[in-house]
Amino acid sequence: MYLLELAGEDDGFARREAESAAAGVEEFAPGLAIAGGLAPDRIAGLAYTRRASELIGHTDANVESARALLAAGAPDREGSVAVRARDVRGTAGISTEEAERVLGTCLVDRGFAVDLDDPDHVLRAVFSGEVCALGWLAGESVRDFGSRAPTGKPFFQPGSMDPLLARAVANVAGAGPGAIVVDPMCGTGGILVEAGLIGSDVVGIDAQAKMVRGSRENLAHYLARGVADGSPLGGPGTFAVARGDATRLPLADGAADGVVFDAPYGRQSKIERHRLADLVAGALAEARRVADRAVVVGDRSWADAAREAGWAVESTFERRVHRSLDRHVLVLE
């Protein structure tokens, strides 16, 4: 069993993204989930899971109960250790410094050497609400999203999706090493960048020549230069971007593992309302032709159009952007 430390405030959405790297994921406590199986190398590429640990057990959310749980089991590790404690969202009201000191002393009493700078193993003590969970750290996500803020990219347009959400929807759509991911309304290429960085081969289509040029520029900046040897993200994948019609993709049936796109927003789009509905409906039908999985994001729910295109709506989420905008995320299969 594995303990997942979730990021953000929407645990349901974080859990759904985590399912791209783990099996049997269930929400456990605020900011925490439990998984039955895990692909440790995929944790590095998740947006809304910060860490995964091999679960030792869980108990009441106080330091003495945590110490008793640790003392009761035989830690199956050799080498030096460090203890890292966390009070998730301040919900447990415990002293993390005290927890680290008490649990560290317990490990020393069991014969471990403590190394706070470069330990062989890290014990995670995570307190949330009325629960404390202990686990040996197995993997962490790479939190470099700030380096790809929309306004800092070579090509930027207002309304571009932030890289955290872009990585998450790419993961839910099936991105990963060797996967083929298509964005038929790629815009500035933000979703494709995030899918490519975790090893996907990505294909972008956009109706505007300006967006095609800009997307290529962003993809070349982040993907063509490669990723340093030893990067936990692996990758990057290949990329191709072309001008085209989202309702008539130049792709064979079943050519992709996943389709993901951010539909034009009514307030920002120059497309008339009825034409926008036709565009999204056509894009959904084409997505159904080229892949068995899709994620569509918009300023409204496109669930009815998705069903009419032959999709089953697996799950839906709402993501607050600001007071006047919520993003609706539909997961389709």
Residue 120: its pLDDT value, please? 96
pLDDT at 228 over 50: no
Q: Which amino acid is at 307?
A: R
Of all residues in the chain, the percent with pLDDT exceeding 90 is: 87
Report the distance separating Cα 118 and Cα 76, nearest Å.
Answer: 19
DSSP codes, 307-323: HHTT--EEEEEEEEEET
Report the distance separating Cα 173 and Cα 155, nearest Å.
Answer: 24
Q: How confident is the model at residue 229 (pLDDT cuts 50, 70, 90)?
A: very low
Phi, psi of 195 (to 5 degrees): -65, -40
Provide the 8-state DSSP code for 263: P
Q: How confident is the model at residue 231 (pLDDT cuts 50, 70, 90)?
A: low
How big is the chain, counted in residues?
333
Give the model confidence (pLDDT) of 195-210 as tens digits: 999 999 999 999 999 9
Residue 298: strand, helix, or coil: strand
pLDDT at 269 over 90: no
Q: How confident is the model at residue 74 (pLDDT cuts 50, 70, 90)?
A: low
Question: What integer is the mean pLDDT of 92-105?
Answer: 97
CB-side exposure of 222: number of CA atoms within 13 Å?
32
Residue 257: its pLDDT value, please? 98
> In terms of Cα–Cα distance, which of 228, 167, 164, 229 is closest to 198?
167
Residue 324: its pLDDT value, please? 75
pLDDT at 234 over 80: no
**Are 189 and 215 in contact, with CB atoms under 8 Å apart?**
yes
Kindly list the structural domains of the chain, giving each domain's residue range(s) and its CATH number in brackets, ordered by start. 2-140 (3.30.2130.30), 145-332 (3.40.50.150)
Q: Give me the sign of the Cα torsion angle 225, 230, 231, 234.
A: positive
Q: Give me the sign of the Cα torsion angle 256, 258, 262, 263.
A: positive
**If you average pLDDT over every residue of the chain, what do you get?**
93
The count of other CB atoms within 10 Å of the CB of residue 310 is: 12
DSSP codes, 194-208: HHHHTT-EEEEEES-
Which of 55-64, 201-210, 231-240 is predicted with the least confidence, judged by mean pLDDT? 231-240
Residue 207: its pLDDT value, please? 96
Q: Burial, 159: exposed, middle or buried (Cβ in 10 Å; 0-12, 13-18, 19+)?
A: middle
Parallel/antiparallel/unpaired status of strands 49-60 and 81-87:
unpaired
The count of other CB atoms within 10 Å of the CB of residue 254 is: 10
Report the distance separating Cα 297 and Cα 292, nearest Å.
Answer: 17
Report the distance separating Cα 119 and Cα 146, nearest Å.
Answer: 27
pTM for the model stands at 0.93
Q: Which amino acid is at 11?
A: D
**Are 208 and 286 in contact, with CB atoms under 8 Å apart?**
no
Report the distance separating Cα 184 and Cα 181, nearest Å.
Answer: 10
CB-side exposure of 152: number of CA atoms within 13 Å?
8
